[in-house]
Amino acid sequence: MKKEFYNIAKLVTQNSKVLDVGCGNGELMKYITENISKDIRGIELSKSNVQKCIEKGLTVIEGNAEKDLRQFPDSSFDFVILSQTLQAFLDPENVLNELLRIGKKAIVSIPNFGHWKVRLHLLLKGTMPVTKNLPNEWYNTPNLHMCTIKDFENYCKERDIKINLKNLKFQNFFSELGIFILEK
């Protein structure tokens, strides 16, 4: 399992009610089910991934987070997880609002466009950065709204969203990935 998933799972409280938005093949959900909380379900767009979740015996709803989060009542989950998909939504602001509405807490991870390798790539090569976390070319990337950790912090500050972030400068330069707990 990806290291990111262990780090996300660590933030989830035992036996809490969890929604994994864009749960992929269910790897993280499976880990949380087996180790932290059985009360977890996911939403996933891709049919083949939905099948993989079902094979793992996970509760998954085939659907589109951009449209389908609105069916959940306010504060209906203790944690709502969004791993590295925020930047791929057409309207990430709406998705974030929905996460904070339906979840008491939201755990969000983003690929950090401010990482030094990304900066160096653009600076030296003059082409769009391709890294481990950003493996696609500009013409086939699903990422519509890239941001840096600093951008994301600014965004949260402006909207009074509580964000757990220490050492912003350090993280913005040295973290390939930002993982945050957000609260309204």
Partner 1 sequence: MSKFKDIKKIIVEKPLKLDCGQTINNFPLAYETYGKLNGNRSNAILIFHALTGDQFASGINPITKKDGWWNYALGPGKAIDTSKYFVIAANVIGGCMGSFGPSDINPETKKPYGTNFPVITINDMVNAQYNLLEYFKIEKLFSVIGGSMGGMQVLQFVSNFPNKALTAIPIACTASHSAQNIALNELGRQSIMADRNWQDGFYEEQNKQPDKGLAVARMAAHITYLSKAGLQEKFGRKLQERDDLKFSFDADFQIESYLRYQGSVFVDRFDANSYLYITRAMDYFDLTKKFGGNLSKAFEKSDTKFFIISFTSDWLYPTSENRDIVIALNAMGKNVGFVEISSDKGHDSFLLDVPDFLNSVKYFLNTSYKQIK
- As measured in angstroms, the least distance from the Cβ of 106 to partner 1 is 17
- Residue 83's closest CA among 141, 128, 35, 42? 42
Provide the token pair at 23.
């749960």
Question: Which C-beta is closer to partner 1: that of 69 or that of 149?
Answer: 69
Provide the token pair at 6.
């262990």
Q: 82: Cβ–Cβ under 8 A, 6 or more apart, which residues? A: 21, 22, 65, 95, 99, 106, 107, 108, 109
- As measured in angstroms, the least distance from the Cβ of 99 to partner 1 is 15
Binding mask 24-63 for partner 1 (x = CB under 8 A): -----------------x-----x--xx--xx-xxxxxxx
Binding residues for partner 1, total number by CB under 8 A:
18
Distance CA 108, CA 155 (A): 13
Question: Which C-beta is closer to partner 1: that of 44 or that of 153?
Answer: 44
Which string of DSSP letters, residue by residue, matches 47-66? Answer: HHHHHHHHHTT-EEEES-HH
Interface positions, 58-97, toward partner 1 (CB under 8 A): 58-63, 68, 71-73, 76
The contact set with partner 1 (CB under 8 A) reads 41, 47, 50-51, 54-55, 57-63, 68, 71-73, 76
